[in-house]
Amino acid sequence: MVMTPRLFLPTARQLNWLIVIAFLCVGEALYLRHMALENSVTSLACRAGLDTWLCASFRLAITLYEHEIFGSVALAAALLNLFRPSLVLVALALAALSFGLVLHNADLSALAAAALILSLARPAPAQG
């Protein structure tokens, strides 16, 4: 009898947490994009030096976007997860991927999404 290796598949509880993480990150990225980045009044006020948490988030998102950090982190976590499946790496890749896709950092984020999907076909780490 040939035993096939058990694939990396999160449990129902783990999957629920991953869904919550993904929705929260997509929601925050959409809020940031539409309330600060694309809203001209808020954007101009933040660029003029307004000191609020929204403007701090705006400046952080602009800095991370300019250096393609969202896509890079998502791709690095997804590739690490492809070679060594881990729930923490899936959560990190999913969070960075969500921000990257919504905030127009889509080139590396889309590649990370493909690697994350491929990682579901990898064998699970050995128990022990």
**pLDDT tens sequence across 94-113:** 999 999 999 998 999 999 99
Model confidence at 77: pLDDT above 80: yes
pLDDT of residue 80: 95
* Domain contains 78: yes
Domain of residue 95 covers 19-121
Average pLDDT value over all residues in the chain: 91
pLDDT of residue 122: 74
* Domain contains 12: no
Provide the 8-state DSSP code for 121. G
* Number of structural domains found in the chain: 1
* Domain contains 110: yes
pLDDT of residue 28: 94
* Domain contains 56: yes
* Domain contains 41: yes
Provide the 8-state DSSP code for 7. B
* Domain contains 4: no
* Domain contains 1: no
CA 13 to chain centroid: 20
- Report the distance separating Cα 100 and Cα 102, nearest Å: 6
The region of weakest confidence among 40-54, 61-75, 114-128 is: 114-128
Mean pLDDT within 2-20: 85
Mean pLDDT within 43-55: 94
- Residue 81 token pair: 């997860």
Model confidence at 2: pLDDT above 80: no
- Report the distance separating Cα 67 and Cα 79, nearest Å: 19
